[in-house]
Amino acid sequence: MISGSLTAVEIAAGVRSGSLSALAVAEAAIGRANAANPRINAFTTLTPERALAEARAVDRSVAEGRDPGPLAGAPYAVKNLFDLAGVVTLAGSKINRDDPAAPADATIVGRLKQAGAVCLGAVNMGEYAYDFTTENTHYGATRNPRDLTRSAGGSSGGSAAVVAAGIVPFALGTDTNGSIRVPSSFCGIWGLKPTYGRLPRTGAFLFVESLDHVGPLAGSVADLAITYNAMQGPDPADPVCSARAAEPVPSDFEDGNGSLRCAKLGGYFASSASPEALDAVDRVAAALGATSAAELPTPGLARSAAYLITAAEGGHRHLSRLRARAADFDPGTRDRFIAGALTPAAWLLHAQKFRASWREAVRAVFANADILIAPATPVSATEIGQEMMAPGGVSLPVKAHMGIFTQPISFIGLPVIAAPVHTPGRMPIGVQLIAAPWREAALFRAARILERTGVCAAPAAPLP
């Protein structure tokens, strides 16, 4: 029996040294998936044949003295909008079931395979990623492994759930307005939304081209780093992917926070948060020696602009499906997609121009800080079916407002690590560490400090 609490780094070290068999690791992970899935409803497609074949190939490399890769034998799962060769890419929808199977892996899945990782299958998400709670009408709600009555967050809810349940050490998700950071916060694990354009999106079923990011969710900072490193590098097939060379971050930082200047975001980011979210921010800020506070100008307008771009581009992406099969959409997304497809051009263009001007305004804030600290979600995991929440006292619809703190940040593509803060007897909640574009390395330094000092952690949830 191989424990679910082994990290990807530990598994790879064992497999590379020959002390651990990738096949045994894969078999154990498949066993955990089969045992846990009925409770959390995370996997929509298990790919045990693929996992076993990839594991055997890794073991063969080790036996033959070839380099099996830095992630040798590490099992993972992907949000079901990533192409897996031979599997239909559902993107959380019923409609896509009629699509042919993907002919090839998504670029980052291929890179993980190259690095020796072992893919266990595809996991649940909100339909076409237009969601913050993974309450999917077609495939059911994904349940939070730390409290099965609660949501795993969304839209990458399945990805967060399989990590928090200890089935796999890491998983892939996407983030347009918060879809990696919200489920990371709900499930109490680490999540990385890199700089817009850092990781290639080829082979991912996109939602909003202008705002879509891909990234890893993991149980440790080292795993977040090693998987992030394995996926970097230019990809001409994705016009948004940067041509800059890979900038790998060290998987461990032991040199303290050095000269990192950290500041807590105030104003908008403090006024609408629950006491538990503000407490988590304070604990992270204290651990990072954040002495100053910063404010972003008009984050509410940034959120509005992100909302309009999301509606217009998302609606347009699905126009042909809305024409032919509107009735087959999830009722939770359908009317928003149709309305988005009808967006007046001036709204979209104004929002896009505002994006460029807001980027400049926020750039000035980074003149005085390397890391900005803000809540990831206004509250911790809400209950499945919960409609209203009252962070900071004002009663608000859950689904429309769970991204209030994440949406303005992804709007201008800033890199973010969602750092999990656990408190005994309470649900965990995430804190955003936000850096200037392309400064992921600073985020990892801060995250490692938080992990080493015990302020943040992502222990696997003991499933009942």
Partner 1 sequence: MPRINSPDVVSQVTQLHDAYEKALVANDVAALGAFFWDSPDVVRFGVNEQLYGAEALAEYRRTSAVVFTERRMVRRSVLALGEDVASVTSEYEQKVFGQPRHNRQSQVWVRFPEAGWKVVSAHVSNALVGPPQTASWEGYADQVAAALRLPLAAAHRTGVAQNLQRAAAIAAPLLAVDLPSTSEIAPVFVP
Please check whether residue 118 is in contact with residue 162, taking contact to mean a CB–CB distance below 8 angstroms.
no
User: Which of 1/346 has CB closer to partner 1?
Assistant: 346
Smallest distance, Å, CB 330 to partner 1?
13
Per-residue burial over 415-433, b = 16 or more CB atoms within 10 Å of its CB, e = otherwise: bbbbbbbbeeeebbbbbbb
Supply 60's token pair: 């063969």
All residues at 6 or more sequence positions from 236 whose CB lies less than 8 Å from its CB, including other chains: none
Alpha-carbon span 122 to 204, nearest angstrom: 12
DSSP string, 354-377: HHHHHHHHHHHHTTS-SEEEEESS
Shortest spacing between CB 351 and partner 1, in angstroms: 6
Burial class for 147, CB neighbours closer than 10 Å (0-12, 13-18, 19+): middle
User: Which of 21, 151, 156, 179 is flagged as catalytic?
Assistant: 179
Please state, as a whole number, how many other Cβ atoms lie within 10 Å of the Cβ of residue 395: 8
Amino acid identity of 95? I
Active site residue 179: yes
Select 80 or 272, whichever has its Cβ closest to partner 1.
272
Q: What angle do CA 130, 98, 95 make, to 5 degrees?
A: 25
Q: Which stretch of DSSP H or E encloses residue 257? A: none
- Specify the residue, 22 or 404, whose C-beta has the smaller distance to partner 1: 404
Which of 401/445 has CB closer to partner 1? 401
The residue type of 307 is Y
Question: Three-class SS string for 376-424?
Answer: CCCCCCCECCCCEECHHHCCEEHHHHCCCCCHHHHHCCCCEEEEEECCC
Closest contact distance (angstroms) between CB of 126 and partner 1 is 17
In contact, 77 and 119? CB cutoff 8 Å: yes
Q: Where are the alpha helices (DSSP H) in 216-274?
A: 221-231, 268-271
In the complex, least distance from residue 372 CB atom to partner 1, rounded to whole angstroms: 19
Residue at token pair 């990590």:
163
CB of 240 to partner 1, least distance (A): 6
Give the shortest CB-410-to-partner 1 separation in angstroms: 14
Per annotation, catalytic residue among 21, 61, 79, 399: 79
Q: How far is the CB of 297 from partner 1 (least distance, A)?
A: 11
Whether the CB-CB separation of 12 and 70 falls below 8 Å is answered with yes
Nearest CA to 410 out of 188, 189, 117, 180 is that of: 180
Say how many Å lie between the first and final Cα of the chain, rounded: 19
Q: Which is nearer to partner 1, 246 or 349 (CB)?
A: 349
Q: Which of 21, 93, 151, 155 is catalytic?
A: 155
Give yes or no: 380 in active site: no
Q: How far is the CB of 250 from partner 1 (least distance, A)?
A: 31
**Does 79 participate in catalysis according to the annotation?**
yes
- Summarize as ranges the residues that interact with partner 1 (CB under 8 A): 209-210, 239-240, 268, 271-272, 298-301, 303-305, 307-308, 311, 319, 322-323, 326-327, 334-336, 338-343, 346-347, 349-357, 388, 390, 392-396, 401, 404
DSSP-derived secondary structure letter, 252: -
* Distance, CA of 170 to CA of 162 (rounded, Å): 8
Which residues are catalytic, by number? 79, 155, 179
